[in-house]
């Protein structure tokens, strides 16, 4: 069985490589992918830092309280540099007050963000996710959970909502899993079931796609007007769900124009 470190480390390089590959593949999402590529590289260094620590100091009984906010805050200046050098000027300007804020103020903001069940898209949400996702992912891996069965619409590791769905090959077809927005744990979920309101009528669960992103589609619900995107690895085995979901930002714009509301936005706010 691989070590906890190996399990966590192996997730970053494929994401970074895929983001770099997709940077120039679609002009509409090129700037987003360039930013995400550099944020992923930054997050991989945080993963290095977290993984150098022993897991005995982590308390998995209350997942979010086990996250080390002081460690996260100490990396904030590096994140600001990444965004200044590689991100849009608007985001860099929005981050500037936070990069100049006291560690205590930023730590309090991260604490408030964690206390919210599904915080809205904001600058602090971007900061929190960039800083805390590597820790959360490592902590979830350190718990050595067995492969989770269908446990509802909340992450079995940390209790957070799903950001997207993943269709993974199984037999002659594929199985649907949900992927947690915070710790990136995947868990099985029924194919014809809204993860927000539990609607099961397939006539009320439309799916939309575009030839530009054949493996990515909008999975919507006409009952509660929510949606998430799914990444189908039976269509494109080279796709990396977290990365391809962001690359297909045009599908989020399409859904918003039709008054669907995303269950949870991704790191870059779509």
- What residue segments make up the domains of the chain, in order of their start? 4-142, 162-262
Quote the pLDDT of residue 145: 57
SS (H, E, C) the chain: CCCHHHHHHCCHHHHHHHHHHHCCCCHHHHHHHHHHHHHHHHHHHHHHHHHCCCHHHCCCCCCHHHCCHHHHHHCHHHHHHHHHHHCCHHHHHHHHHHHCCCHHHHHHHHHHHHHCCCCCCCHHHHHHHHHHHHHHHHHHHHCCCCCCCCCCCCCCCCCCCEEEEEEEEECCEEEEEEEECCCCCEEECCCCCCCCCCCCCHHHCCEEECCCCCCEEEEECCCCCEEEEEEECCCCCCCCHHHHHHHCHHHHHHHHHCCCEECCCCCCCC
Single out the residue of 182, 201, 183 nearest to residue 192, CA to CA. Answer: 201
Quote the pLDDT of residue 140: 85
Instruction: Give me the helix-helix angle, 123-142 and 103-115, nearest 10°.
Output: 70
Question: What are the two backbone dihedrals, phi and then psi, of residue 50, each rounded to the nearest 5 degrees?
Answer: -65, -40
| 147 close to 51: Cβ distance less than 8 angstroms | no
**Could you give the count of Cα atoms lying within 13 Å of 71 in the half-sphere of its Cβ?**
18
Find residue 262's DSSP bridge partners.
Answer: 227
Task: Please identify every stretch of the chain with a pLDDT value under 50, giving residue numbers as ranges.
Answer: 1-9, 54-60, 150
Alpha-carbon torsion, ordered 50, 53, 56, 59, to 10 deg = -20
Quote the pLDDT of residue 20: 94
Quote the pLDDT of residue 61: 53
């Amino acid at each position: 069985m691989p070590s906890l470190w190996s399990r966590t480390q192996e997730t970053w390089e494929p994401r970074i490589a895929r983001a770099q590959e997709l940077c120039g593949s679609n002009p509409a999402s090129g700037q987003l992918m360039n930013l995400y590529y550099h944020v992923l590289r930054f997050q991989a260094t945080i993963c290095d830092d977290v993984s150098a620590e022993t897991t005995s100091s982590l308390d998995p009984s209350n997942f979010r309280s086990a996250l080390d906010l002081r460690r996260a805050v100490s990396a904030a200046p590096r994140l600001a540099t990444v965004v200044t050098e590689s991100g849009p000027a608007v985001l860099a300007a929005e981050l500037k007050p936070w990069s100049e804020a006291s560690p205590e103020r930023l730590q309090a903001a991260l604490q408030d963000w964690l206390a919210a069940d599904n915080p809205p898209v904001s600058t602090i949400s971007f900061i929190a996710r960039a800083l805390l996702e590597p820790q959360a992912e490592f902590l979830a891996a350190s718990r050595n959970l067995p492969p989770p069965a269908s446990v509802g619409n909340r992450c079995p590791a940390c209790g957070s909502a799903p950001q997207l769905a993943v269709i993974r090959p199984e037999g002659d077809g594929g199985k649907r899993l949900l992927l947690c927005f915070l710790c990136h744990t995947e868990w099985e979920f029924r194919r014809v079931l809204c993860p927000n309101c539990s609607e099961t009528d397939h006539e009320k669960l439309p799916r939309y796609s575009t030839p530009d992103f054949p493996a990515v589609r909008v999975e919507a619900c006409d009952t509660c007007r929510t949606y998430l995107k799914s990444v189908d690895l039976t269509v494109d085995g080279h796709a990396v769900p977290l990365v391809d979901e962001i690359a297909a930002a045009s599908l989020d714009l399409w859904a918003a124009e039709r008054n669907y509301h995303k269950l949870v936005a991704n790191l870059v706010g779509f």
